[in-house]
Amino acid sequence: MNRFTYARPADLAGALREIARDPGARFIAGGTNLVDLMKYDVERPTRLVDVTRLPGLDAIEETAAGGLRIGALVSNTAIAYDARIGRRYPLLASAVLAGASPQLRNAASTGGNLLQRTRCYYFYDAATPCNKREPGSGCPAIGGVNRIHAILGTSEHCIATHPSDMCVALAALEAVVQVAGPGGERAIPFAEFHRLPGDHPERDTTLCQDEIITAVELPPEGFAEHHTYLKLRDRLSYAFALVSVAAALELDGGRIARARIALGGVAHKPWRMPEAEAALAGQPAEAASFALAADRLLAGAQGHGHNDFKIDLARRAILRALSQAAAGTPQSQTDKRIR
Amino acid sequence: MLKEPHVGAPRSRVDGRAKVTGEAKYAAEFPAPGLAHGHVVSGAIARGRITGIDTTAACAVPGVLEVFTHENRPRTAWFDYKHRDEVAPPGSPFRPLYDETILYSGQPVALVVAEDSGTARHAASLVRVEYEAGAHETDLLRAREDAYVPPKRRSGISPPPKPRGDAVAALAEAPLRVEAEYRIATEHHNPMEMHATTVVWEGGGKLTVHDKIQGVLNSQGYICNVFGLSKEDVRVVSPFVGGAFGSGLRPQYQLFLAVMAALALKRSVRVVLTRDQMFTFSHRPETINQVALGAAADGMLRAIRHDAIGATSRFEDHQEVVVNWSGLLYHCDNVELGYKLAQLDIHTPADMRAPGAPLGVFALESAMDELADKAGIDPLELRLKNYAETDENEGKPYTSKELRAAYRLGAERFGWSRRSAAPRSMREGRELVGWGLASGVWEAQMQQTSARAVLTADGRLEVATATADIGTGTYTILAQIAADAFGLPMESVTVRIGDSSLPKSPIEGGSWTAASAGSAVQAACHAVRETLFRHARGAEGSPLGNADLDHVAFVDGRIVLAADPDRGIGLIEAMRAGGAERIEHEQTASPDKANQKRYSSYTHSAIFAEVRVDEELGVLRVTCIVTAVAAGKILNPKTARSQVIGGVVWGMGMALEEETLADHRLGRFMNHNLAEYHVPVNADVHDIDVIFVEEQDSRTSPIGVKGLGEIGIVGTAAAIANAIHHATGKRIRDLPITLDKLLERPPAERAR
């Protein structure tokens, strides 16, 4: 861990000024990921800009469009137990509860959850090469220890996954990320917020260094009737997903009117494929349709040895999640029996 | 009339309050004036040499006192034997910062010492090390080709017994045969408390050392030998240890580094390892077992062969008892057991809870399950059929063995008789249900131990011995034993342990502490009682005048006639009568050599497991474990139960989760944090039912105790693996049984 300076600006403008002043500066809120990364010498910020006292970012509010606006400082716990979210966006609450532990969820912020970094072993170990940590140094996960790594959207430079559960639900719900920067505010559709590694695995998102997340907005449609968050992992709690599925359906009788499927644990970002979802429209809500969607979602999936099993697992998980969603029996995050 | 004794009653931990309030101090928590802080720089390659260390930037950080490397470290003892601790295996012990040679990845290569820990940590990140890498090997599956029988045996570890009968011929002729290979992954100890040492510079050449260690005398001896100090000048004080499980048996490198720095800087120094550095020394060795069982059609064993290969380092032959259990658990006339080591470029493995036993027993008890399957016999019946009445490895009777009762009581509690025999035949909802069982076994031992008891005229009793309490309940059981000796409430007893100035005790390990320290404390208390009794009898008008010690009882702070408890004399009154302000005795309790020669002593268990498997997704839940333990006298059913539950939960981790993953190209363990090295969490743990089987044992130790530290883990992984086979028809022989392995194999696959 390196030495750093610390600032606690009183307002958003102050925070943006602080971050613009020093390219080595980082925002810190809950610190549940950043502090770990600093201890491992993965992140070596010269200055920490504490945003926890910024006013106006810690509320969940109605939007004019009929959705909800979740401030960037709202804790993961507050999302999980918010009555409106529970009623209108239960998929989001479920995904949040599938992640981390109560202690971490109490500390972790909404904005920070979006920005948490991969759990790749090599990324965490400064004694090894890693293109994400040190561009150009190589990716030992390819051909190395990679059972937790990606099967979709990888590049020759990086096969890391995005670790968040919450983001998988936000992707399925087509949330919008509100950010502020020196040039003012802008909105980033969730699908465009996280990026694939390509030639720049060091960049996880499309957020600029001098920008800050102010809120995440949920559109009105919450798929409260037919949804599930199914997370498969190496123990029954407190482990990152090997594969997770956020499924949301709108049914019209026995047929699917609309479908959203996002996968976690398989790519550098929550994995969605609008064509696969579109193809489900009008189909009967049954196993054969779900299988077709799984085929499309996993087209081109590629294992790297230890994680070969994820392709089969993801397929099975998609089928089960869609059948849970269709039946209106979402996966419980407390009873660990899979429905 | 006589009160219920403390021994045998479920007493809460006497140190519980101190622990939950933070009053209990651990190695990294002791303050010292002018304390400097050391941070370790860990190496990056598995084998080779350091070609350069640039410490300029680190040294330039204000507050840095010194950066120690192999180039500038102070001199230490020259000879290897000076670096060997009490429990070192044969070989050449690892010497931190010794020279430029790299022996394993993660090896400490520098120690940065600064005025505060933040500065030390920051400066440590600025040390630049250059290496010349050599060819390394960390893959046991490749190194097994070069496995060898360790030329020198490790003290205290029995090599495999000589073959009996002709296992090869008997196996060839056996109508039923099971032959398979079973593997267990590398595991790291990961106690909650990180390894740490605080060395207090007392002046005048004297050191007080607070070390995370399971034996203060081991640390003291090591420091004195390595740094040429005298025992009068080095006191090691470690009253509390936040878990260790074997990682604290040997002095670890942070002790060496902290003492080295304190001596060089002539001031107090603390070194605390980080969680990732906890993966750079002790671990349970990856082990490969090959087991062959031959049996008659009725399941009677005709032949047992069991060969194991365990990983070790290039510099020490770490050995464990892996295969001997296979010659012990069942009656069989033809047995051949073998144990080899294979060297890897890793740190030397170390004892981890029940070293060796859960590895070998996993293999044997899985193979027995495979045999039951082949023979079409209930797995419990197969075990009872082949029950060993004596120790056939040694040709000795047991001091006691109530395993048969353990099988019966465990099976009753679990409801084993309702098991339907065929795999895949039990189901509830989507989940397949499986029931499996296994046996557990561990050595019951007592070691020579000394203790002191001091009774003072204020009615307080202090007992003391240099042993440790690593969370097992040693403080509590010693208080129970001491309180009972005088009929005192436990609150009147102070227990002091974990201090090298106290009477001698061996390291806290091997499940022998309760039997050993308990017997020593009892002996010391009994010596005090004799003196006290003389005073009591001599008191004017003493009602005990003509009684002898056998005819009195110590009740409620009084010595009374057993036959007439109303007549007696108070402890304090007796002491005053004798003019004694304090009565102090030190005693040494030793195992009975004649008994040790004549008898074998082991603890046993029968473990029953229920699993539920969502086969399609590979999701598994262990929904019930019943373990029936036969371990002689149970001093405290409450702490004993906790200890066994801890072992069972760890067995679940071994079965399903624990695995240190190595990148063999880098020669480095990669999942070195608790996010990616998985141990069970609450959601993984359902019902665990512990039964203590009545077992009388007067030969293992004077207090009837056989020990409980290890038995909980032994066999648990096998019971779970067997339950998984019963549920799914899949026989998985590689631990841990992770989700991908459950998905992998077609259900139709049978034993090889």
Task: Search chain A and give the residue with CA nearest B665.
Answer: A144
- pLDDT per residue as tens digits for the range A294-310: 999 999 999 999 999 99
Q: How far is CA B230 from CA A232, B201, B220, B233, in A?
A: 57, 15, 9, 5
Are B423 and B334 in the same domain?
yes
User: Facing residues of B111 across strands?
Assistant: B40, B68
Residue B483, domain member (yes or no)? yes
Question: Average pLDDT in the A109-134 region?
Answer: 98
Which of chain A's residues have a Cβ under 8 Å away from the Cβ of B112? none
Closest C-alpha among B222, B260, B370 to residue B733: B370
| Rounded Cα gap, residues A232 and A165, in angstroms | 11
Nearest-neighbour CA in chain A from B654: distance (Å) = 12
- pLDDT per residue as tens digits for the range B508-520: 999 999 999 999 9
Which of chain B's residues have a Cβ under 8 Å away from the Cβ of A144? 663, 665-666, 670
Identify whether the C-beta of residue B353 lies closer than 8 Å to the C-beta of residue B245.
Answer: yes
Nearest-neighbour CA in chain A from B415: distance (Å) = 23
- pLDDT per residue as tens digits for the range B416-455: 999 999 999 999 999 999 999 999 999 999 999 999 999 9
Residue-number span of the structural domain to which A232 is assigned? 226-326
Number of domains in chain B: 3
- List the single residue in A236, A312, A337 with the smallest CB-CB distance to B431: A337
- CB contacts under 8 A, A 2-21 vs B, are 2-3
Are B437 and B569 in the same domain?
no
Closest C-alpha among B239, B263, B258 to residue B500: B239
| Rounded Cα gap, residues B109 and B99, in angstroms | 9
Instruction: Give chain A's largest Cα–Cα span.
Output: 61
> Does A104 reach chain B within 8 Å, measured CB to CB?
no
User: Facing residues of B110 across strands?
Assistant: B41
Residue B143, domain member (yes or no)? no
Q: Is residue B746 pLDDT above 60, yes or no?
A: no
Are B395 and B530 in the same domain?
no
- pLDDT per residue as tens digits for the range A31-90: 999 999 999 999 999 999 999 999 999 999 999 999 999 999 999 999 999 999 999 999
Residues in chain A: 339
Are B439 and B471 in the same domain?
no
Residue A286, domain member (yes or no)? yes
- CB contacts under 8 A, A 135-154 vs B, are 140, 143-145, 147-148
State the amino acid at position B279 in one-letter form.
F
Identify whether the C-beta of residue B627 lies closer than 8 Å to the C-beta of residue B466.
Answer: no
- List the single residue in B617, B671, B680 with the smallest CB-CB distance to A232: B617
CA dihedral B168, B169, B172, B176 (to 10 degrees): -90
Name the token pair of B64.
């840095």
- List the single residue in B119, B431, B743 with the smallest CB-CB distance to A313: B743
Identify whether the C-beta of residue A154 lies closer than 8 Å to the C-beta of residue A303.
Answer: no
Q: Identify the CATH number of the domain in which residue A25 sits.
A: 3.30.43
Q: Which residue shows structure tokens 């893959």?
A: B139
Q: Is residue B749 pLDDT above 90, yes or no?
A: no
| Rounded Cα gap, residues B464 and B633, in angstroms | 22
Task: Search chain A and give the residue with CA nearest B670.
Answer: A121
Which of chain A's residues have a Cβ under 8 Å away from the Cβ of B116? none
Are B82 and B178 in the same domain?
no
Identify whether the C-beta of residue A48 lies closer than 8 Å to the C-beta of residue A4.
Answer: yes
- List the single residue in A145, A235, A339 with the smallest CB-CB distance to B678: A235
- pLDDT per residue as tens digits for the range B59-81: 999 999 999 999 999 999 999 99
Residue B159, domain member (yes or no)? no
The whole-chain average pLDDT of chain A stands at 97
Residue A106, domain member (yes or no)? no
Helix axes B357-375, B637-656, angle to 10 degrees: 70
Which of chain B's residues have a Cβ under 8 Å away from the Cβ of A143? 665
Number of domains in chain A: 2
> Which runs of E-coded beta strand occur in B562-667?
564-570, 582-589, 602-614, 619-630, 662-663
> Which runs of E-coded beta strand occur in A100-221?
176-181, 184-189, 212-218
Residue B322, domain member (yes or no)? yes
Q: Which ranges of B105-174 would DSSP assign to H, the alpha helix? A: 117-124, 140-143, 167-173
Residue A145, domain member (yes or no)? no
Percent of chain A with pLDDT over 70: 100
Partner-chain contact A40 B276, CB within 8 Å: yes
B676 carries an active-site annotation: no
Identify whether the C-beta of residue B569 lies closer than 8 Å to the C-beta of residue B542.
Answer: yes
Residue A234, domain member (yes or no)? yes
Q: Is residue B3 pLDDT above 80, yes or no?
A: no
Q: Identify the CATH number of the domain in which residue A262 sits.
A: 3.30.390.50
Q: Identify the CATH number of the domain in which residue B649 sits.
A: 3.30.365.10
> In which band, very low, low, confident or very high, does the pLDDT at B546 lie, cut at 50, 70 and 90?
confident
Interface test with B, best of A146, A311, A337, A339 (most B CBs within 10 A): A337
Are B275 and B130 in the same domain?
yes
Residue B151, domain member (yes or no)? no
Residue A96, domain member (yes or no)? no
Identify whether the C-beta of residue B51 lies closer than 8 Å to the C-beta of residue B139.
Answer: no
Name the token pair of B201.
């510079």
Residue B574, domain member (yes or no)? yes
Q: Is residue B265 pLDDT above 90, yes or no?
A: yes
Percent of chain A with pLDDT over 90: 99
Q: Is residue B750 pLDDT above 90, yes or no?
A: no
The last residue of one of the domains, among A49, A68, A85, is: A49
Question: Average pLDDT in the B410-414 region?
Answer: 98
State the amino acid at position A250 in one-letter form.
E
Are B426 and B486 in the same domain?
no
Q: Which helix (H) or strand (E) holds B133?
A: strand B128-133
> In which band, very low, low, confident or very high, does the pLDDT at B2 lie, cut at 50, 70 and 90?
low
Q: Which helix (H) or strand (E) holds B615?
A: none
Are B262 and B125 in the same domain?
yes
- pLDDT per residue as tens digits for the range B703-734: 999 999 999 999 999 999 999 999 999 999 99
| Rounded Cα gap, residues A200 and A216, in angstroms | 25
What does the pLDDT read at residue B470? Answer: 94
Partner-chain contact B618 A317, CB within 8 Å: no
Helix axes B716-728, B637-656, angle to 10 degrees: 50
Are B295 and B259 in the same domain?
no
> Does A335 reach chain B within 8 Å, measured CB to CB?
no
What does the pLDDT read at residue B545? Answer: 82
Which of chain B's residues have a Cβ under 8 Å away from the Cβ of A320? 616-617
The whole-chain average pLDDT of chain B stands at 96
- pLDDT per residue as tens digits for the range B91-100: 999 999 999 9
Are B550 and B626 in the same domain?
no
Closest C-alpha among A249, A278, A243, A235 to residue A263: A243
- pLDDT per residue as tens digits for the range B85-126: 999 999 999 999 999 999 999 999 999 999 999 999 999 999
Residue A135, domain member (yes or no)? no
> In which band, very low, low, confident or very high, does the pLDDT at B745 lie, cut at 50, 70 and 90?
low
Phi, psi of A112 (to 5 degrees): -65, -35
DSSP state of A238: S
Partner-chain contact A147 B661, CB within 8 Å: yes
Task: Search chain B and give the residue with CA nearest A339.
Answer: B430
- pLDDT per residue as tens digits for the range B573-592: 999 999 999 999 999 999 99
Closest C-alpha among B336, B262, B191 to residue B33: B262
The last residue of one of the domains, among B533, B566, B590, is: B590
Q: Is residue B744 pLDDT above 80, yes or no?
A: no
Work out the number of other CB atoms within 10 angstroms of the CB of residue B324: 24
Which of chain B's residues have a Cβ under 8 Å away from the Cβ of A122? 670
| Rounded Cα gap, residues B210 and B251, in angstroms | 12
Nearby residues of B746 by Cβ (< 8 Å), 6 or more positions away: none
Residue B1, domain member (yes or no)? no
- pLDDT per residue as tens digits for the range B191-237: 999 999 999 999 988 999 999 999 999 999 999 999 999 999 999 99
The last residue of one of the domains, among B538, B555, B590, is: B590
Residue B106, domain member (yes or no)? yes
Residue-number span of the structural domain to which B477 is assigned? 448-590
Residue A196, domain member (yes or no)? no
Q: In the sheet that B36-42 helps form, which strands lie side by side, from edge to edge?
A: B64-68, B108-114, B36-42, B269-272, B196-203, B206-211, B234-236
Closest C-alpha among B610, B614, B628, B631 to residue B701: B631
| Rounded Cα gap, residues B116 and B52, in angstroms | 26
One of B443, B540, B710, B749 is an active-site residue; which one?
A: B710
Partner-chain contact B683 A122, CB within 8 Å: no
Phi, psi of A320 (to 5 degrees): -65, -40
| Rounded Cα gap, residues A261 and A277, in angstroms | 7
Are B488 and B631 in the same domain?
no
Residue A283, domain member (yes or no)? yes
Question: Average pLDDT in the B269-283 region?
Answer: 98
Residue-by-residue DSSP string for B337-383: EEEEEEE-SSPPP---SSTTHHHHHHHHHHHHHHHHHHHT--HHHHH
Please tell me the least confidently modeled range out of A257-266, B272-281, B543-552, B737-746.
B737-746
State the amino acid at position B55 in one-letter form.
T
The last residue of one of the domains, among B522, B556, B590, is: B590
| Rounded Cα gap, residues A40 and A37, in angstroms | 5
Which of chain A's residues have a Cβ under 8 Å away from the Cβ of B431? 337
Q: Identify the CATH number of the domain in which residue B85 sits.
A: 3.90.1170.50
What does the pLDDT read at residue A336? Answer: 87
What does the pLDDT read at residue B274? Answer: 97
Q: Is residue B752 pLDDT above 50, yes or no?
A: no
Nearby residues of B507 by Cβ (< 8 Å), 6 or more positions away: B86, B87, B214, B215, B217, B218, B249, B468
